[in-house]
């Protein structure tokens, strides 16, 4: 099954409430995916800096110590903001690749890198989705848009790395309801093109595929269009980028999707239940996205 929620604010005055609204939406989707959950939130960022979200396998991991060691190694300051077993490490942009390499090397098997972005932070873990949201205090986070997922695993193990969203490019994230069938072949093809993978998961292949397309110069919209040709299987995708939010369903539209739009926001839910608590939903335009049709909203 799996559940997806997404919220893209058009009205900036609502930004302090983004986390609270997303947490409520995610909570209603618990029974669609009770084994693990995750969310990406697009909040504030500093010009010329990159935020790297990392997760530690130990609950009491000393992130400050790791940040200090990495700072020393790359000769550049790293700002470390712990959130439970996750931490957001902020580093100047031109040292980001070095920092990632050093985090992975010094952190070893105790550390996993979940995403990097100028504004995007990513949190994901096993457990009931409402508990995962509570653990990271999602309800207190603010930002312009957020994407969340509740997982009922089919294609790979239940662990934090296999939870969604998957992020394989700066500020890019993808969540998926469904299952792909040609992902092993596609993974091999992408590996030959030099792309790397962290898991055995099907959604990661879709995420890497989109990242690869965009590296080739495609816009997100074009990358999504081409995935209709190259991905085989069932999918409802919701993607996030630094300024935007997109939705795509497979041509058979096997997996559910509901969109709602008001002057204040665009919201996505696997079911209407996820949207029922949003302000002004009674008068929102509510509809089902068409199959094989790319929907995309972007802030100017």
Partner 1 sequence: METVDLQKTPLREFNQKLHDLQGSSDKAEFKVLNPRGKHAVASGIDAPVSVEIDGSVGYYCASMNKQADVVVNGSAGVGLAENIMSGKVHVKGDASSSAAATGIGGMVIIDGNASSRCGISNRGVDIVVKGNVGHMSGFMAQAGNLVVLGDAGDAFGDSIYEAKLFVRGSVKSLGADCIEKEMRDEHKETLRKILDEAGIGEEVDVNEFKRYGSARQLYNFKIDNLEAY
Nearer to partner 1, 189 or 271 (CB): 271
Q: How far apart are CA 65 and CA 67, in angstroms?
A: 5
Please, what is the minimum distance in Å from the beta carbon of residue 253 to partner 1?
6
CA distances, 285 to each of 263, 266, 277, 288 (Å): 10, 9, 15, 10
Q: How far apart are CA 249 and CA 255, in angstroms?
A: 8
Binding site residues, partner 1, CB under 8 A: 252-253, 256, 258, 271-277, 282, 286-288, 290-291
Task: Characterize 148-184 residue by residue with b for buried, 16 or more Cβ atoms within 10 angstroms of its Cβ, and e for exposed.
Answer: bbbbebebeeebbbbbbbbbbbbbbbbbbbbbbeebe
Please, what is the minimum distance in Å from the beta carbon of residue 276 to partner 1?
4
Q: Is 2 a catalytic residue?
A: yes
Nearer to partner 1, 82 or 256 (CB): 256
Please, what is the minimum distance in Å from the beta carbon of residue 178 to partner 1?
15
Both tokens assigned to 179: 């299952």
Please, what is the minimum distance in Å from the beta carbon of residue 95 to partner 1?
47
Q: How many CB atoms lie within 10 A of CB 274?
A: 27
Nearer to partner 1, 33 or 115 (CB): 33
Nearer to partner 1, 11 or 287 (CB): 287
Task: List, by residue number, the catalytic residues.
Answer: 2
């Amino acid at each position: 099954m799996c559940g997806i929620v997404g919220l893209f604010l058009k009205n900036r005055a609502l930004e302090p409430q983004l986390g609270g609204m997303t947490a409520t939406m995610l909570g209603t989707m618990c029974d669609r995916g009770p084994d693990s959950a995750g969310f990406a939130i697009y909040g504030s960022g500093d010009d010329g800096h990159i935020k790297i979200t990392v997760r530690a396998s130990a609950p009491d991991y000393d992130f400050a110590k790791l940040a200090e060691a990495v700072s020393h190694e790359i000769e550049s300051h790293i700002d470390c903001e712990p959130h439970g077993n996750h931490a957001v490490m902020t580093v100047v942009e031109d040292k980001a690749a070095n920092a990632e390499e050093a985090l992975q090397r010094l952190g070893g098997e105790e550390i996993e890198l979940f995403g990097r972005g100028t504004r995007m932070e990513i949190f994901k873990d096993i457990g009931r989705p409402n508990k995962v949201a509570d653990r990271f205090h999602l309800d207190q986070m603010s930002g312009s848009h957020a994407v969340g997922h509740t997982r009922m695993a089919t294609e790979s193990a239940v662990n934090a790395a296999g939870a969604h969203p998957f992020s394989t490019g700066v500020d890019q994230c993808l969540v998926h309801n469904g299952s792909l069938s040609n992902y092993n072949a596609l993974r091999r093809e992408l590996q030959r093109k030099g792309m790397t993978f962290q898991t055995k998961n099907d959604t990661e292949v879709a995420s890497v595929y989109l990242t690869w397309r965009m590296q080739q110069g495609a816009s997100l919209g074009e990358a999504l269009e081409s995935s209709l040709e190259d991905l085989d299987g069932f999918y409802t995708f919701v993607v996030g980028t630094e300024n935007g939010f997109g939705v795509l369903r497979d041509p058979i539209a096997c997996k559910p999707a509901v969109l709602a739009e008001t002057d204040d926001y665009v919201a996505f839910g696997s079911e209407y239940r996820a949207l029922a608590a949003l302000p002004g939903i009674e008068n929102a335009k509510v509809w089902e996205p068409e199959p094989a049709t790319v929907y995309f909203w972007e802030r100017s």
